[in-house]
């Protein structure tokens, strides 16, 4: 199967090329030329398979230039061998909140306690194999913009991987203290981390500009280096995320929660860059019985407004919230959805994306909007409501969730009430461990909360109050040495990248 660019459907590259490059040269995102289809009989078979077997089946349908052995090797290296709790990468917790059938799909049992591990434990294996396939002897310099979770997961995935270097940019005041510490203490000989004076959108725009800067590319080329990406703009990052939606549905079938052929589920995803919910959209298009895709946002509700009105408008205040991984106003993966909904109209997509960078706004056509309304429900909640939801689930279900998951639960309640749909089984994506956001979570559940306690005291307190274990990777952070404390302005990101590449030059 080949991959086209959303901004030039004439471009056609192999999956190895798409994964190696990360982003198309003109700034478009790679998308598969067609989606494979899975039948009910496939789901019946998959329900008896392990997560790794399910992943091999789904990945094989997309990565036609990889052998079955290669895919199996990549998948096993990613998900087995103790990287995830009990070799169960994506367990489901069942909540019976009132009449609602809520299933929390916990995607944070990997080495960095966030859902990004599900893809970023696999991507380095796919990427190194892809580089061999395209016969590249270059070092891949992985550029990452992060609002907290991707950065750490990418660093952990790529640390000391031969033939790669990784540079992560995060907003200085836009990640949680624990996320910052996770990144700044990262071990490995090929890793660099830099805070920027700006927000996540500045970091992401800066990275995209560097990718498409001909002068920087020329300098890298001369030095035997090429760029790649570990953000969800890279197809190799998005593809593994499709797997867990299939896997969750199969688990519900196997546990008897899905009663009949074709029974539909809702999927609720807290999202900022639209990658995680896009993976659910692809799963639906591939045959997974999904009723509504529910898009949950925080106060940065640009996606809520877009999915409701068809107008994307980033000209609004940027809010720093307690769910920082979703503090995003430019959602990269919407471009892939729109490419699909317009029937692969790359001219239209290029036009809208140009409008977005010149005026910060575009409006999609009525027929696109009505397709969106069929597929999606969108809602948002602010920080106060997020904390209320954490407290409520904790008190009624004895279940402790993080701030992003709480946004999803809150928006699901809005949906269930508005649409009178409390019966449809609903998978709520739980994206991070509550311990990554100990301050806000403790504040929500404990009357003893002390704002002036240190982050690690809050972690201890959260565990004491709730009786939940502190994840080992979080507990170990306190003793780790801070290795990175550089802060740069957003226009100096290019220089930081060249420095990481070991190239002396002023851009």
Ligand X SMILES: N[C@@H](CCOP(=O)(O)O)C(=O)O
Helix or strand or coil: residue 259?
A: coil
Binding residues for ligand X, per CB under 6 A?
Answer: 146-151, 231-232, 272-273, 275, 325, 332
In order, the DSSP letters of 71-133 are HHHHHHHHHSSSSSGGG-SS-EEEE--TT--EEEEE---STTSBTTHHHHTTHHHHHHHHHHH
> Whole-number minimum distance, CB 376 to ligand X, in Å?
18
* 321 vs 325 by CB, closer to ligand X: 325
Round the CA-based radius of gyration of the chain to a whole number and report it.
21
> Whole-number minimum distance, CB 276 to ligand X, in Å?
7
> Whole-number minimum distance, CB 144 to ligand X, in Å?
7
Spatial CB neighbours of 219, under 8 Å, sequence gap ≥ 6: 498, 501, 503, 505
* 272 vs 471 by CB, closer to ligand X: 272
Two tokens, residue 375: 């597929």
The two beta strands, 2-5 and 30-32, are: antiparallel
Two tokens, residue 86: 């009990």
> Whole-number minimum distance, CB 250 to ligand X, in Å?
24
CA distance 313 to 356: 8
Spatial CB neighbours of 232, under 8 Å, sequence gap ≥ 6: 119, 150, 238, 241, 273, 275, 276, 278, 332, 333
* 61 vs 142 by CB, closer to ligand X: 142
Distances (CA, A) of 488 to 170, 172, 194, 197, 498: 10, 9, 7, 6, 13
Distances (CA, A) of 208 to 178, 229, 230: 26, 10, 12
> Whole-number minimum distance, CB 503 to ligand X, in Å?
25
**If you search the block for the tokens 């289809």, which residue do you land on?**
37
Identify the CA nearest to 182 among candidates 229, 116, 231: 116
* 184 vs 232 by CB, closer to ligand X: 232
Two tokens, residue 15: 């999956």
List 171's β-bridge partners, or say none.
Answer: 196
> Whole-number minimum distance, CB 115 to ligand X, in Å?
9
CA distance 364 to 372: 10
> Whole-number minimum distance, CB 318 to ligand X, in Å?
14
Q: What's the sign of the alpha-carbon dihedral 481, 486, 490, 491? A: negative
* 146 vs 410 by CB, closer to ligand X: 146
No. of helices (H) and no. of strands (E), the chain: 22, 16
Known catalytic membership, residue 116:
yes
* 148 vs 434 by CB, closer to ligand X: 148
Secondary structure (H, E, C), 275-332: HHHHHHHHHHHCCCCEEEEEEEECCCCHHHHHHHHCEEECCCCCCCCCCHHHCCCCCC
Are the beta carbons of 454 and 177 closer than 8 angstroms? no
**If you search the block for the tokens 């090429």, which residue do you land on?**
226
Query: Quick one: which H or E segment has residue 13?
Result: strand 8-14
Determine which one of 25, 34, 116, 129 is catalytic: 116
Two tokens, residue 93: 């917790």
> Whole-number minimum distance, CB 432 to ligand X, in Å?
9
> Whole-number minimum distance, CB 431 to ligand X, in Å?
9
* 325 vs 443 by CB, closer to ligand X: 325
Identify the CA nearest to 233 among candidates 269, 204, 198: 204
> Whole-number minimum distance, CB 275 to ligand X, in Å?
4
Dihedral pair phi/psi, residue 208, rounded to 5°: -65, -35
Give the residue numbers annotated as catalytic, written as ranges.
116
């Amino acid at each position: 199967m080949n991959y086209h660019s959303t901004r030039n459907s004439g471009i056609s590259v192999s999956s190895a090329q798409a994964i190696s490059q990360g982003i198309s040269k003109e700034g478009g995102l790679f998308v598969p030329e067609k989606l494979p289809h899975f039948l009910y009989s496939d789901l019946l078979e998959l329900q008896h398979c392990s997560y790794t077997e399910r992943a091999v089946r789904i990945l094989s349908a997309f990565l036609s230039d990889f052998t079955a052995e290669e895919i199996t090797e990549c998948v096993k290296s990613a998900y087995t061998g103790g990287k995830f709790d009990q070799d169960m990468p994506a367990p489901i917790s069942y909540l019976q909140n009132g009449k609602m059938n809520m299933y929390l799909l916990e995607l944070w049992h990997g080495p960095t306690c966030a859902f990004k591990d599900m893809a970023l434990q696999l991507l380095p294996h796919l990427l190194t194999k892809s580089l061999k396939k395209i016969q590249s002897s270059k070092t891949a310099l992985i550029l990452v913009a992060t609002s907290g979770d991707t950065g750490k997961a990418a660093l952990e995935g790529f640390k000391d991987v031969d033939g790669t270097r990784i540079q992560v940019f995060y907003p200085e005041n836009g990640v949680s203290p624990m996320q910052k510490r996770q990144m700044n203490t990262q071990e490995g000989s090929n890793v660099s981390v830099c805070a920027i004076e700006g927000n996540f959108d500045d970091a992401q725009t800066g990275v995209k500009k560097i990718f498409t800067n001909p002068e920087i590319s020329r300098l890298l080329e001369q030095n035997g280096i090429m760029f790649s990406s570990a953000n969800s703009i890279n197809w190799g990052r998005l593809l593994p995320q499709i797997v867990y939606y299939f896997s969750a549905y199969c688990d519900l079938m196997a546990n008897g929660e899905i009663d009949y052929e074709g029974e539909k589920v809702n999927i609720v995803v807290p999202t900022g860059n639209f990658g995680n919910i896009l993976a659910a959209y692809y799963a639906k298009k591939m045959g997974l019985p999904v009723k509504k895709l529910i898009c949950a946002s925080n106060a940065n509700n640009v996606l809520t407004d877009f999915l409701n009105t068809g107008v994307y408008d980033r000209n609004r205040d940027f809010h720093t919230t307690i769910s920082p991984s979703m503090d995003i106003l430019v959602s990269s993966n919407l471009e892939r959805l729109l490419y699909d909904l317009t029937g692969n109209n790359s001219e239209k997509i290029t036009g809208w994306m140009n409008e977005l960078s010149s005026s910060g706004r575009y409006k999609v056509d009525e027929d696109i909007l009505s397709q969106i309304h069929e597929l999606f429900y969108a809602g948002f909640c602010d920080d106060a409501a997020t904390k209320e939801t954490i407290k409520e689930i904790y008190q009624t279900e004895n279940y402790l969730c993080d701030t992003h998951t709480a946004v999803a639960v809150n928006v699901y309640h809005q949906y269930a009430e508005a649409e009178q749909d409390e019966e449809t089984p609903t998978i709520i994506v739980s994206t991070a461990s509550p311990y990554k956001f100990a301050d806000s979570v403790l504040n929500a559940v404990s009357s003893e909360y002390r704002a002036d306690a240190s982050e690690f005291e809050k972690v201890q307190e959260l565990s004491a109050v709730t009786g939940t274990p502190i994840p080992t990777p979080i507990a170990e952070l306190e003793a780790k040495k801070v290795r990175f404390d550089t802060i740069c302005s957003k226009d100096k990101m290019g220089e930081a990248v060249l420095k990481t590449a070991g190239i002396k030059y002023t851009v």
